[in-house]
A and B are shown apart, each in its own frame.
Chain A
Amino acid sequence: MSKNEEKVGLGALGEIDRLVHEPARLAVMALLYVVESADFIFLMNQTGLTWGNLSAHISKLEEAGYLSVEKSFKGKRPNTTLRLTVQGRQAFRRYALQMKQAFRDFEA
């Protein structure tokens, strides 16, 4: 591999969205990508994250505009419903494509 090709590969990796790249957030985004919406407890059970950890990651994703958070009550019980925004879905798709591309480059 020439030095120029190496630079191109590293450059592509540098463009990867770090917000999505973090494993816990990637798990949250992947799960929300395949469903329409899920509540906080379902996400916690499926990802295996603790309440505090998940809460922190959700805040970051919400700040970035990738997640929409809807707080409501189911009877007397508070409920937090989460779904990916259009921007979040695009970011996840873009991330998947970039990672695919990066690994394709490594294989070549």
Chain B
Amino acid sequence: MNTQLDLKEMERKAFRATYQDGLWDLYFGLIVVCMSIFVYRPASGYSPLNIVLALCAFGVAFGLFWAGKKFITLPRMGQVRFGAKREKRKRTMIIALSVVVLIQSLLFVLQLIAWANPGLGERINGLIRDRNVMDLVVASVGALIVGPSMILVAYFRDFPRGYFIAAMIALAVFLMIYLNQPVYPIFISMLIALPGLVLFVRFLRNYPLHREEALHEQK
């Protein structure tokens, strides 16, 4: 029997306990659903409404996640603040993600420039003549942008299920762009959300609401 008191492992266990509610999985599943419904390229072409609806849907998804953490998880699990090392990791993650977002923004600006200059767009299209290959390239670039940023989150937030979510999101983005069908990413979103749902139900069962402390405080 290992009776060694491993403080590092204890801290990691306490940290990972905050993921036991499955809300991150449900949140990312919802994000993929929103993305599949509102961001895919409809036959009628993109419209500003697509982007507005997508932003609203992402906002609603985040609102649900935040409310779940605040009103369901915290009263059951309690609150904890981790030490300086975790804060440092969080800061590093923010810097790394900022770099990724910067690259994504640059690509977005390049795309806007291409849209504004049809001649430039045609020249880029001319480089890759086959439409299928073009879609494949765009889908791969999309997946490569989204996947690594989620891997960064999984690594810095010490969230093992995040690697699976990263792979699934990258696949969802790839299929969404390449096949331009929302049904495949919606199926993938279910694969992401299902473990979260199981964890959430288990969490509700294992972590009942505590009334004792409230009584204690009133004394």
Residues of A that sit less than 8 Å from B by CB: 26, 30-31, 33-46, 51-52, 55, 71, 74, 77-81, 96
Contacts and interface: CB of A to CB of B under 8 A. Distances in A.
Nearest to A72: B217
B210 A46 contact: no
Contacts of B75: 41, 77
A70 B75 CA distance: 17
Interface in B1-29: 5, 7-8, 10-11, 14, 17
B80 A37 contact: yes
A42 B80 contact: yes
Given A40-B213, A41-B213, A51-B212, A30 B5 contact: yes
A35 B77 contact: no
Given A30-B10, A36-B83, A42-B80, 15 more contacts: A34-B8, A34-B11, A34-B14, A35-B11, A35-B83, A36-B84, A41-B76, A42-B78, A43-B78, A51-B210, A51-B213, A55-B216, A74-B79, A81-B79, A96-B5
A45 B79 contact: no
Contacts of B5: 26, 30, 96
Contact of A35 (B14, B76, B217): B14
A22 to B, nearest CB: 14
A78 B214 contact: yes
Contacts of A78: 213-214, 217-218
- In order of increasing CB-CB distance, the 10 nearest A-B pairs are A42-B78, A41-B78, A78-B217, A34-B11, A51-B212, A36-B81, A38-B80, A39-B78, A39-B79, A42-B80
B218 A46 contact: no
A38 B214 contact: no
Given A30-B5, A33-B7, A51-B216, A44 B210 contact: yes
A71 B210 contact: no
14 contacts: A26-B5, A33-B7, A34-B8, A35-B81, A36-B84, A38-B14, A38-B79, A38-B81, A41-B77, A42-B14, A44-B78, A45-B17, A74-B79, A78-B213
B77 A45 contact: yes
Interface in B200-219: 207, 210, 212-214, 216-218
B219 to A, nearest CB: 11
Contacts of B79: 38-39, 41-42, 74, 79, 81
A80 B83 contact: no
